[in-house]
Structure 1
Amino acid sequence: MKKLAFLLMTTAAMLAACGNGSTEDSSAVTETGIKEHLVMGLDDTFAPMGFKDSKGEIVGFDVDLAKEVAKRLNVEITFQPIDWAMKETELNSGNIDLLWNGYTITDERKEKVLFSEPYLSNKQIIVTMADSAIETKADLAGKVVATQQGSASVDAINADTTGIVAQFKDGAPLLYPTFNDVFNDLESGRTDAIVVDEVLGRYTMKQKGAEKYKVLADNFGEEEYGVGMRKEDTALKAAIDKTMSEMKADGTYEEIYSKWFAE
């Protein structure tokens, strides 16, 4: 009787566990082979692409694009802040399904992820305080130059062929966890210059007071943003590419773009 009672209790517990919580199957897919619930990974300090606003809500240009794409594909999407330095690991381990946060397309990243078609152009600008004597890339010799770890800015700096990086103070850029930290230490005088995505940089300078900063004519290269997916997610790539193309054709992309980049 004791064994029977234990068996009944165990069976009941298992049934309760199965019925407890959401009935949604995170691995369920649509008829087109796309997961019904997508998780988008992002650095929630990367304004205006994807970031937390004053209310703690995740907003931004990429967030609005992703919501519209998910709506048209009739799937759910949630936004998951991640350690951006671990982004490809998070993607390929299955913790997230998309990297969509000012994610620069590079040859090195193409070896790890599947990219959508490019949807926005960008470049890596050099920013100093307005009263800085630095005027050109060559003037960075002996100076403390900072950027965010794991970012495309680091890749662009390391790919530079002019030889100036070896002349930075300590022979390499100073790396910070977020671009907020990068800007804060530039303002405090702990660094002399920073390298940052132009999209983020100009948005941040506008919020902080653009007159305080100077953007050099030189830069560390032009690039394009894309959506990152796992290599096997070819159906998802095709769906995103097709939907984004339709959004550009019907004016929706331009509406979202104007919301975040009015100037």
Structure 2
Amino acid sequence: MIRSGGTGLACAIALALGVAGGANAQSIPLAEKVESNGTLTIASGLDYAPMQFVDEKGQPAGMNVEMAQAVAKLLGVELEIVTIPFKAQIPALVSERADIGWAGYTILPERLEQVDFVGFMSSGTVIVGLPETKDGLADPLSICGKKVAVANGNAADAVADRLSADCEAGGLAAIEKQIFPDQKDTIQALLTGRVDARLDDATSAGYYEATTNGKNVVASDPIDPAPLGLAIRKGDSAMGEMLSSALNALMADGTYATILEKYGMSAAAVTESVVYSDMSQLQN
């Protein structure tokens, strides 16, 4: 069922309360709001394939959508997806328009001041170029002085700034960063020659390489590999425990690996879901 409302599209996805996963679900404590409403409400931009997008039938699709569906099914509740742009998801959590910002958030100090995170993948930022420029973009400093595209709100934005500072510190020209509304725009900018390279999440770069038939290729190893998390309200320990327990159950029964493999993201898998509330957890 898809329904319009507020500032975006909301879709409630009814999930059957099957026997499968029931035993695991019994040991997972439901957060009070989820238990009382019988609904897991998540925020998603639905605009970042293969993580989350709208398919040709107009339905939510992608790795994050399938993972959320699997979690809701395991918990025996209904899934509601509220369409909220990535940059507005943390404010939406604070105002309780959603319970979870279901996106691959890089865990940053400034974000941890506002929300906690439930780790579910690992990623980094990669340099992406054209087939004919790939070999010359393997080194992070190879993009010094070049026009580089990043998507608005993406972790690659901060990586571009740091790399640009490294360029200048080494006596090289700064990066000419160009910010675009979303990843599709950065890809188009690269393919049309408006930029020399683009920075993208390692989790999605391989997918885009395939969907552009090899015209848009990963050139570097991941820069600053780090865990990715789902955002929850600061201090909401019950939600964090519920979500991490559900993800760990999906890891144990193979569902997690199956979903990642379907979208070519097996390399981004983690062995355990952890709740992050302080940057010190990432430094240990």
TM-score (norm 2): 0.74
Instruction: State the alpha-carbon separation in 1 of the partners of residues 161 and 99 from structure 2.
Output: 28
Match of residue 250 from structure 1: 253
Match of residue 234 from structure 1: 237
Instruction: State the alpha-carbon separation in 1 of the partners of residues 143 and 30 from structure 2.
Output: 54
Instruction: State the alpha-carbon separation in 2 of the partners of residues 247 and 218 from structure 1.
Output: 28
After TM superposition, give the deviation of residue 48 of structure 1 in Å.
1.3
Work out whether residues 40 and 96 of structure 1, in 8 Å CA contact, stay in contact via their aligned partners in 2: yes
* SS of alignment partner, residue 209 of structure 2: helix
- Could you list the runs of 5+ residues in structure 2 that have no partner in the other structure? 1-28, 267-284
260, 263, 270: which one pairs with 1:260?
263
Cα root mean square deviation, aligned: 2.3
Which residue type is aligned with residue 52 of structure 2? Answer: G
Instruction: State the alpha-carbon separation in 2 of the partners of residues 31 and 149 from structure 1.
Output: 34
* SS of alignment partner, residue 125 of structure 1: strand
Q: Which has the larger radius of gyration?
A: 1
Work out whether residues 127 and 197 of structure 2, in 8 Å CA contact, stay in contact via their aligned partners in 1: yes
1:93 and 2:95 aligned: yes
Match of residue 121 from structure 2: 120
Moved more, 217-226 or 57-66: 217-226
191, 195, 201: which one pairs with 1:191?
195
Match of residue 152 from structure 1: 155
After TM superposition, give the deviation of residue 206 of structure 1 in Å.
0.5
- Could you list the runs of 5+ residues in structure 1 that have no partner in the other structure? 1-29
Match of residue 40 from structure 2: 38
189, 200, 204: which one pairs with 2:208?
204
Work out whether residues 157 and 220 of structure 1, in 8 Å CA contact, stay in contact via their aligned partners in 2: no
Instruction: State the alpha-carbon separation in 2 of the partners of residues 138 and 93 from structure 1.
Output: 41
Q: Which has the higher strand share?
A: 2
Work out whether residues 160 and 175 of structure 2, in 8 Å CA contact, stay in contact via their aligned partners in 1: no
Instruction: State the alpha-carbon separation in 2 of the partners of residues 96 and 223 from structure 1.
Output: 25
After TM superposition, give the deviation of residue 142 of structure 1 in Å.
1.8
After TM superposition, give the deviation of residue 234 of structure 1 in Å.
1.4
Instruction: State the alpha-carbon separation in 1 of the partners of residues 108 and 184 from structure 2.
Output: 24
Work out whether residues 49 and 200 of structure 1, in 8 Å CA contact, stay in contact via their aligned partners in 2: yes
Match of residue 77 from structure 1: 79
Identity %, equivalent residues:
28
1:168 and 2:192 aligned: no
TM-score (norm 1): 0.79
After TM superposition, give the deviation of residue 89 of structure 1 in Å.
1.5
Which residue type is aligned with residue 145 of structure 2? Answer: G
User: How many pairs does the alignment contain?
Assistant: 230
